[in-house]
Structure 1
Amino acid sequence: MSAFPLAIPDDPYLRDRLVDRIGQHWPRLLEALRPLYGEGDWERELASRLLSSALDRPADLRDLDLVREATPDWFQQSGMIGYCTYIDRFGGTLSGTNARLDELSRLGVTYFHPLPLLKPRTGDSDGGFAVADFRQVDPKLGTIEDLRRLATHLRARGISLCLDIVCNHTADSHEWAVAAKAGDKRFRDFYHVVEDAERVTAIEAHLGQVFPQTAPGNFTFVPEMGGHVWTTFYPFQWDLNYANPAVFIEMMDVLLYLANQGAEVFRLDSAPFLWKRHGTDCRGLPETHQVVRAWRAALAIAAPAVALKAEAIVGLGEVLPFLGDPDHPECHLAYNNTAMTALWAALATADTRPLATCLSQALAKPAAAGWLTYVRCHDDIIWGALKDVIPDETLGWISDFYAGEVSGSFADGQAFQAEPGAVRSTNGMAASLAGFRDGQDNAAALARLRLLYGVTFALDGIPTIYMGDERALTNDPDYASEPDHGDGRWLHRPQMDWTRPEGDIHRSIARFAFLRQNRDCLHAANPARPLNSPDRSLLIFERVGGVGDRLVCLGWFKEHGTVLDLSAVLGDGPWYDLLEETDITEHSVALLPWSVRWLVKKGG
């Protein structure tokens, strides 16, 4: 393995810290990239960008690097609580969001994920996921200085800032794309262009479709490019060509630049699609994992305080590889999408067995990695993620249930698009999908919402609140009246209503967060292990830490209450319910409709 190709400047910080980091991680970086690019001048350019970023790293972030190197499991701590929102929906602007940080602290939030806020293309930008400039903020939200200021204020409160990096594509108005359309060969090679229409058809035969109704196909003919540009998502989102080492270096430089503005976590949007190989479905290819592995090594050299999170909204079999292994680490975090999807499936069917199966499968996660757990997010619920644990016929019924198309359904959601023959996904805010309707008796809906969050907060990982769920915020029925909001997912991207009462669900979520603090068994290295349940409607799992450090979560997914003998599962008591602050007899455990219990040994 080649030595680092550049001399380290005679800077005390670089001399004391960077030399060690380079010695450890530069070989890993080359091990990942040389099979893709061979040896060449790109290595020297890569080294130059790393050194430049390390020199530019602000002093307070260098201090954070040292802290995180000493506590590499910082993102696995039991006190990590997430919050995800759109800046314009939450605080209006970055400055306005600064004024709302007390709201986050009251909920125990330590991880804040504002959805895409970098400068988007004009007009429809797929909710900000069509980025025109990775080094500027959307002018409607503020400036890069405002972003840096927000990151500083968050860090002072112990809150880590997570930013989206749309790593698969740029907007068609990005300077790289503009230069490519103008005939610049260097930037044309930043994208995939297929000149032969028959070749496009042959490639398409192996590919799925992300938006089969609103953006069918995976290619867009662009006259200025003299052919068809690969566009996995929308026609204005041009897929980057990672077979070109210059693309890897530029996107690495983007990560390092934003890390120096104060980002502590990067959500790698659309990560499975990074590498293209004709004749495959181009999802999660081995080369994709080498790219992600190299980004991790680069950050470990120049910004080791930063974590990577994989955005892979697919089944566990496709998600787990993005966490790598001890010898080849990739992302620090990944979404536990199947657990979220199975939660909603259990709520509709009163059958928790598929959820227990998903939790068992999730035990394959590397101990040093972490999940991000959640109830809802800005995207649709994709039922296909459960195709290996629930039959398609049942998944179709669940989809219909949440679209309100099944007799007796409590849900107020909408079906979303799917590929021909596939189960339609679901849109809707968590409260609406749980049956909450303003002006009605919502006791049952709130119980269902509390159950979902109570289970999610007991799972291993970073439990994350989606904007407004803490106030039972409902769907935006008028979403399509806003310009460029025709996509059905805007149903669950409403404006935050700060006049809406906080109520019981806010108190419950804040209590879940409080009870997680400093509880060792809830460290993410201690996984949620399903236990045998005497009833299909009862989910039981445990989190076990040191000697005597055990929490058992019970989730009852049924509209009628019951009393069960759980002595065979729990063992001898005495037991105590942390949520209800009551003693429990294991021979006679009462479960109210749609209820959750967190049990510990009394005195524990």
Structure 2
Amino acid sequence: MTAMDPMDRQTVAREAQRTLERLWPRLSQAFADQDPTLWDEFAGRLRTHFPALFERLVALYGHHYDFFYHLEQLLVEAGQAWFTRDPALRALDRQRQADPRWFQSEKMLGAVYYVDLFAGDLQGLRKKIPYLQELGVTYLHLMPLFQAPQPENDGGYAISDYRQVDPRLGTMADLQALATELRAANISLCLDFVFNHTSDEHPWALRAQAGDPEFQAFYFIFPDRTLPDQYERHLREIFPDEHPGAFTYRPEMNAWVWTTFHTYQWDLNYSNPQVFRAMAGEMLFLANVGTEILRLDALAFTWKELGTSCENLPKAHTLIQAFSILARIAAPSLLFKSEAIVHPDEVVKYIRPDECQLSYNPLLMALLWNSLATREVRLLRHAMSYRFRIPDECAWVNYVRCHDDIGWTFDDGDAAALGINGYDHRRFLNAFYTGRFPGSFARGLPFQENPRTGDARISGTLASLAGLERALHLGDPAEIDLAIRRILLLHAVILAIGGIPLIYLGDEIGLLNDYRFREDPAKADDTRWVHRPAMDWEKAERRRDPNTVEGRIYQGLQKLVQVRKATPALAGHAMEVVDMGNDHVFAFVRANEHGRLLAIHNFTENPQPLPSNGIRLHGLGYHFRDLVTGLPLELATDGELTLEPYQILWLVPQADGESAS
């Protein structure tokens, strides 16, 4: 949060205590008819967390004349959320408070997909829970499923009503029933909290368009270009092809509206305490539906200040911390997941026990693809050696790809330290993954390509980017084998490196790019739809046949998942990158009180030698068992071990004479 002088912090703490004592009689009266046991739970958490919440809210809104009114109303609304919370969710709260690091278990496995593309609707998804259990999923992120404008809605990220499901997918009752069934299957539901903006069809925006000044204050609306021009001197354009700058003219109001992303997405004005209260209500509503994890969308953009870039500002962190602390009071089991696709130095700032307990790891994703293209792990090894560290109470969410594009978010300073020019290297990666580079195995599409600067991001499914699409087109069994090995290699890293591995559903059976998005006018200009194919259940039926491509990928991945879940040394997120003396091989050590594992990954299609001494040094011995194959590995005193193309080794030390079975 914003830095505060120690004396000021003491003053705020004293004022927090006095404020709570003044509010206590009114809060007690407001909930006098509630179960005393539930009141005692709520009151205990409120007393514990109120000083921290008060400090954040004072930093954001203390200068408002009606600050204490909004504060009291916020606490009453938090209490109402707690007392109306389902008893099963309150039981989950208690369970998670007793085991706050539950998400760091080696048994965790995430999956993500769109409801309609995976199962048609929410009722259909309930029928697919056994499939998720078979794969080993314990955390399911469903892409935005709320009411949104049609046909254009940014893949659901323009929300018209946070309390209504898209009618094509079902109802809120269907969502609540799904959350209950998922919880019974030991699968935590994750939904998006799109809190930077609403769609222009949201009731708040409609009332603003109708001239209601209360709701016009929910957004950034300007009568002329004076302030927008001043802001834009420091802002970057996110989607310049759609609209230049960050503002959109709305003729029905004769005004300019702040629209960072798309013209139909209106940025919320969090300098207004009423907006915080309103969005806190939406957050707690989603928690009470049964959501256990909220992905905070576009969190870097939430706070605006004139004369700044309006990205990653200190008060954006203060804002998120206020939401997070409020959740500790009213829905203690709720976790936040950061979606900050920004510079690595900024990504890590959002990861704190009182802010975002989980965070996507976009740097790891980008550098895995970088290593696959270059066949070198130097940049991956260098960056992960120090950029992987986060607080012990938190965890990375590691993924190979997601619904969005792949951007090359590595730090240019990291690259320069290795003699790599960041600008030129990004151009190479774009050429490689769009198949323009000679010899490339990838078949991706550029996203938001700028012909003038060469800047772009990459769209494509895992299988198509890893060479399977090209290999199948060629009908080359050797190339198919290499592509499958690449797919399993990337998954092996995210399964072992520490944190929660997240699989984009369909990747487990090797779904390819779907170019039919070009036929839909609402999607034709957004190449990201190429890697959002509908789940092919006919292909999924072949997952049990080891003689099919689908079976080879699925069974290989399932074996890795099963090994992960049976290896307590993979719990937590502590990880040490090690240099094995070969720049084509990425290796790291996972160690905790339960054991030690040395993970080794060959990022090339060629055999790679490894000195035995390096394995002995980092693996602590001469005798190992490879958990991937289940076979023993004995090291010679001298000499070297040869890795097969794209081979994965997960080595655990064995004592002399210990069985490797």
Q: TM-score, normalised by structure 2?
A: 0.88
Tell me how far 1:494 sits from its aligned partner.
0.5
Q: Does residue 354 of the first structure (1) align with residue 379 of the second (2)?
A: yes
Q: 2: CA distance between counterparts of 1:52 and 1:260?
A: 11
Please name the residue that 1:434 is paired with: 466
Please name the residue that 2:7 is paired with: none
2:47 paired residue among 23, 45, 61: 23
For structure 1, which runs of at least 5 residues remain unmatched after alignment? none
Q: Does residue 514 of the first structure (1) align with residue 562 of the second (2)?
A: yes
Please name the residue that 1:108 is paired with: 136
Do the aligned partners of residues 466 and 53 (structure 1) sit closer, same or farther apart at CA in structure 2, a change above 3 Å counting?
A: same
Tell me how far 1:523 sits from its aligned partner.
1.7
| 1:537-552 equivalences in 2 (<5 Å) | 537-546=584-593, 549-552=595-598
| 1:516-531 equivalences in 2 (<5 Å) | 516-517=564-565, 519-524=567-572, 526-531=573-578
Deviation digits for residues 513-538 of structure 1, max 9, x if unmatched? 211225332122x4221002211111
Tell me how far 1:483 sits from its aligned partner.
4.5
Do the aligned partners of residues 214 and 566 (structure 1) sit closer, same or farther apart at CA in structure 2, a change above 3 Å counting?
A: farther
Please name the residue that 1:163 is paired with: 191
Q: Does residue 197 of the first structure (1) align with residue 225 of the second (2)?
A: yes
Deviation digits for residues 479-517 of structure 1, max 9, x if unmatched? 121351121110100000011122111112222221122
| Letter in structure 2 aligned against 1:173 | E
- Tell me if structure 1 keeps the 8 A contact 2:485–2:647: yes
Q: Does residue 413 of the first structure (1) align with residue 460 of the second (2)?
A: no
- Tell me if structure 1 keeps the 8 A contact 2:580–2:610: no
Tell me how far 1:182 sits from its aligned partner.
0.2
Aligned-partner SS, 1:499: helix
- Tell me if structure 2 keeps the 8 A contact 1:315–1:337: no
- Tell me if structure 1 keeps the 8 A contact 2:582–2:609: no
Aligned-partner SS, 1:260: helix
- Tell me if structure 1 keeps the 8 A contact 2:362–2:409: no
Q: 2: CA distance between counterparts of 1:409 and 1:559?
A: 13
Q: 2: CA distance between counterparts of 1:530 and 1:566?
A: 17
Tell which deviates more after alignment, 355-364 or 446-455: 355-364
Please name the residue that 1:596 is paired with: 648
Tell which deviates more after alignment, 573-582 or 413-422: 413-422
- Tell me if structure 2 keeps the 8 A contact 1:212–1:418: no
Q: 1: CA distance between counterparts of 2:371 and 2:137?
A: 27
Q: 2: CA distance between counterparts of 1:579 and 1:528?
A: 19
Q: Does residue 96 of the first structure (1) align with residue 124 of the second (2)?
A: yes
Do the aligned partners of residues 188 and 350 (structure 1) sit closer, same or farther apart at CA in structure 2, a change above 3 Å counting?
A: same
Tell me how far 1:568 sits from its aligned partner.
2.7
Please name the residue that 2:85 is paired with: 57
Q: 2: CA distance between counterparts of 1:518 and 1:554?
A: 18
Do the aligned partners of residues 216 and 556 (structure 1) sit closer, same or farther apart at CA in structure 2, a change above 3 Å counting?
A: farther
Please name the residue that 1:495 is paired with: 534
Q: 2: CA distance between counterparts of 1:378 and 1:216?
A: 25
Aligned-partner SS, 2:256: strand
- Tell me if structure 2 keeps the 8 A contact 1:210–1:232: yes
| Letter in structure 1 aligned against 2:453 | G
Please name the residue that 1:578 is paired with: 627
- Tell me if structure 2 keeps the 8 A contact 1:411–1:433: yes
Q: TM-score, normalised by structure 1?
A: 0.96
Please name the residue that 2:280 is paired with: 252
1:558 paired residue among 596, 599, 604: 604
- Tell me if structure 1 keeps the 8 A contact 2:366–2:409: no
Work out which of the two has the higher radius of gyration on C-alpha atoms and give 1 or 2. Answer: 2
- Tell me if structure 2 keeps the 8 A contact 1:313–1:337: yes
1:342 paired residue among 355, 360, 367: 367
| 1:390-469 equivalences in 2 (<5 Å) | 390=415, 391-417=422-448, 421=453, 423-437=455-469, 438=472, 440=475, 441=477, 442-469=480-507
| Letter in structure 2 aligned against 1:370 | A
Aligned-partner SS, 1:381: coil
Deviation digits for residues 110-161 of structure 1, max 9, x if unmatched? 0000100011112200000000000010111000000001001100010000
CA RMSD in angstroms comes to 1.6
Tell me how far 1:193 sits from its aligned partner.
1.6
Aligned-partner SS, 1:570: helix
| Letter in structure 1 aligned against 2:601 | G
For structure 2, which runs of at least 5 residues remain unmatched after alignment? 1-15, 416-421, 544-550
- Tell me if structure 2 keeps the 8 A contact 1:314–1:385: no
| Letter in structure 1 aligned against 2:189 | L
Q: 1: CA distance between counterparts of 2:142 and 2:122?
A: 10
Aligned-partner SS, 2:590: strand
Q: 2: CA distance between counterparts of 1:529 and 1:421?
A: 37
Please name the residue that 1:236 is paired with: 264
Please name the residue that 1:479 is paired with: 517
| Letter in structure 2 aligned against 1:432 | S
Tell me how far 1:215 sits from its aligned partner.
3.9
Tell me how far 1:418 sits from its aligned partner.
5.0
How much identity, in percent, do the aligned residues show?
A: 38
Deviation digits for residues 146-194 of structure 1, max 9, x if unmatched? 0001001100010000000111000000000000000000000000123
Please name the residue that 1:152 is paired with: 180
| 1:247-326 equivalences in 2 (<5 Å) | 247-324=275-352
Q: 2: CA distance between counterparts of 1:314 and 1:186?
A: 33
- Tell me if structure 1 keeps the 8 A contact 2:366–2:407: yes
Do the aligned partners of residues 232 and 570 (structure 1) sit closer, same or farther apart at CA in structure 2, a change above 3 Å counting?
A: farther
Do the aligned partners of residues 518 and 16 (structure 1) sit closer, same or farther apart at CA in structure 2, a change above 3 Å counting?
A: farther
| Letter in structure 2 aligned against 1:88 | D
Q: 2: CA distance between counterparts of 1:551 and 1:384?
A: 29
Please name the residue that 2:20 is paired with: 3
Q: 1: CA distance between counterparts of 2:92 and 2:369?
A: 38
